[in-house]
Amino acid sequence: MSECTHDCSTCGQNCSERTAESFRKPLREGASVKKVIAVVSGKGGVGKSLVTSLLASEMQRRGHNCAVLDADITGPSIPKSFGIHEHCMGTEEYLLPVTTHTGLQIMSMNLILENEREPVVWRGPVIAGAVTQFWTDVLWQDVDFMFVDMPPGTGDVPLTVFQSLPVDGIVIVTTPQDLVGMIVEKAVNMAGLMNIPVIGIVENMSYFKCPDCGKEHAIFGESRVEELAKEYGIPHVAKLPIDPVITTMVDAGEVESVTGRYVSGLIDVIEKEV
């Protein structure tokens, strides 16, 4: 056996020093992030980026310094939601996150690409490495809560985030279809393997409220979110409606201006318990 370098990330040996903490990557000197919340799902298209944006915006409105690390490298939609199209700045030593008009800090692949419409055609390990660099090479400034917008599934990038970042809790995003029971179970089981608590579950596209009569219609089927939360011991539930106003505001880059108390209860839990 070669001499131990105490760098477990490059070692294949199984020894007493190989703990979860040994895989953690440090922030660069001068950076500060207190709490990290990962927003995950077992499949794509359920609205993780929307939920991430709403959580970060609401937390920022409550007076906390917040940030979004966009870990969905091949589908980075966070900058558009916040109306950001410029490139991030930096030096040879570090990158600076782009700041929104409310002061929320953002880092995303689209802030680095010369053309934001350019596809990222990379293999998994390279994508995972880029996510790690968003943590280690960015000068995050006095962040109270960082929300990580994860790609779908349980592959390279989620594993990298859970191992390399000090994730304090997970929010699972789902939709009303019957299929999601299995999808939620996968996300819960991965969280369990990583020994990270699941803070809450958000059911997106839960219902449509008729603007004329006020009645709520379950477009994609009756909600199962309370049932799922009880089954998997998830302590908090939130529901997001199908709302054309929210869609229009996100498309216009004005997600920080979305009002409503859709995720307020979940934010209460994160503030008090994380």
Domains in the chain: boundaries:
26-273
113-169 confidence digits (pLDDT tens): 887 778 887 888 899 999 999 999 999 999 999 999 998 877 889 999 999 999 999
- Asked whether residue 214 carries a pLDDT value surpassing 90, the answer given is no
Contacts 24+ apart (CB under 8 A), 90-99: 90/139, 93/28, 94/28, 94/137, 94/138, 94/139, 95/137, 95/138, 95/139, 96/138, 96/139, 97/67, 97/138, 97/139, 97/140, 97/141
Q: What rounded mean pLDDT belongs to the chain?
A: 88
More confident residue, 259 or 142: 142
pLDDT for the residue numbered 2: 53
CA 103: distance to chain centroid?
Answer: 18
Q: 158 with 73: CB under 8 angstroms?
A: no
More confident residue, 16 or 89: 89
Of the ranges 65-79, 189-203, 216-230, which one carries the lowest mean pLDDT score? 216-230
- Asked whether residue 26 carries a pLDDT value surpassing 90, the answer given is yes
pLDDT for the residue numbered 6: 44
More confident residue, 182 or 202: 202
Mean pLDDT of 183-202: 90
pLDDT for the residue numbered 5: 46
The answer regarding whether domain 26-273 maps to CATH 3.30.390.50 reads no
CB atoms within 10 A of CB 133: 14
Q: What is the pTM of this model?
A: 0.90
